[in-house]
Amino acid sequence: MNLLNFSFIRNDDNYGYVEYISHGEVSGWAYSKSSDIQFIGIFLGNQLVTLSPLNISRNDIKDKFKIDYPTGFRILFDYKMGRKSVNVLPKICALNSNKEIIFKLKLISSLRNKNIKDIFYSPYFGCDGRFDGINLEGTISGWASKRNYKGKLKIWLQSDKKVEPMEIICDIWRKDLYYFKVEDCGFEINPNQIPPNFYDSNIWLTFDKEGKHNIDPTGKRINFEINNGQYIGELNQQDNNMDLDLYQKQVDVLNKFKILLDKVEENK
């Protein structure tokens, strides 16, 4: 998929954009014609709290600039990251080999209404998750994590009927979450154990009991209907809060990685 569907704003010979950011991660790319970018670093004020090499190949950037080396990055947020910093501005920067700032990355146009400071100082910073919906076993499933938190995470099943939310514990091991660097954070809900006051409503899961912070960055909800003891709901994506093309890109990468893992297992 080509993500170069926006106008470049030239800053000398430096180019770079944040293409996706949530409470759980940030990703994008950076390139300089005149400097050797080695890392992408996240600063809170003047403190470098984490960094990552440019290690993701981007064919669209290669084609644009006629180069043949990685320019993409992806950084997973840890809930402890920069916790000692107070009310200082976060910035995402391209760094040289000495970890010195070359330039600050910009946000793509669809993200410019996001307040990055609100993300970094949210109580849900480092939280990530996905709502899978109904699985093959007939249970409602997904996962939610506070990355590197050692306890069992509680989330809340919500309904647009404004009923009392249902507490869910995320502690099931899942082998398919290596891409997100989490493991024991899955959940499965038997539809028959959901109280009847949730029936015939849209349901979703949140990190907060108040129902404002959906565990899934797409804002995913499902229509929850029970007929003769059988779940007959369907997907409701009316309230998606992010660019689904970007989300699909990450799903595609995850699927390719799972195929690679399967091949490694076969060759053991």
Mean pLDDT for all residues in the chain: 85
Last residue of a domain, one of 120, 151, 185: 120
Confidence of residue 138 (pLDDT cuts 50, 70, 90): confident
pLDDT at 215 over 60: yes
94, 84, 92: which is closest to 14 by C-alpha? Answer: 94
Confidence of residue 136 (pLDDT cuts 50, 70, 90): confident
Same structural domain for residues 49 and 140?
no
Query: What is the reported pLDDT for 43?
Result: 95
Same structural domain for residues 29 and 107?
yes
Give Cβ neighbours of residue 210 (< 8 Å, ≥ 6 apart).
none
Residue 242 forms part of a structural domain: no
Edge-first strand order for the sheet with 172-173 is: 127-134, 140-146, 184-189, 172-173
Q: Domain count for the chain, please give it.
A: 2
Q: Rounded distance, CA 143 to CA 180, Å? A: 11
Q: Which domain holds residue 170?
A: 127-236
Residue 32 forms part of a structural domain: yes
Residue 135 forms part of a structural domain: yes
Same structural domain for residues 225 and 161?
yes
Last residue of a domain, one of 78, 102, 120: 120
Domain of 39: which CATH number? Answer: 2.60.40
Residue 265 forms part of a structural domain: no
Give Cβ neighbours of residue 178 (< 8 Å, ≥ 6 apart).
257, 261
pLDDT in tens, 55-103: 999 999 999 999 999 999 999 999 988 777 777 889 999 999 999 999 9
Same structural domain for residues 113 and 152?
no
Which three-class secondary structure state does DSSP give residue 248?
A: helix
Same structural domain for residues 72 and 166?
no
Same structural domain for residues 180 and 230?
yes
Same structural domain for residues 135 and 230?
yes
Last residue of a domain, one of 78, 96, 120: 120
User: Beta strands of the chain (E only): which ranges?
Assistant: 14-21, 25-32, 39-44, 47-53, 72-76, 90-95, 101-104, 106-107, 127-134, 140-146, 153-159, 166-170, 172-173, 184-189, 201-206, 221-224, 226-227, 230-231, 234-236
Confidence of residue 125 (pLDDT cuts 50, 70, 90): very high
Residue 157 forms part of a structural domain: yes
Same structural domain for residues 34 and 106?
yes
Same structural domain for residues 90 and 159?
no
pLDDT over 90, % of the chain: 67
Same structural domain for residues 116 and 144?
no
Residue 21 forms part of a structural domain: yes
**HSE (side-chain half, CA atoms, 13 Å) at 40:** 28
- Of 188 and 260, the structure prediction assigns the larger pLDDT to 188
Same structural domain for residues 35 and 83?
yes
Q: Rounded distance, CA 90 to CA 77, Å? A: 13
Same structural domain for residues 113 and 136?
no
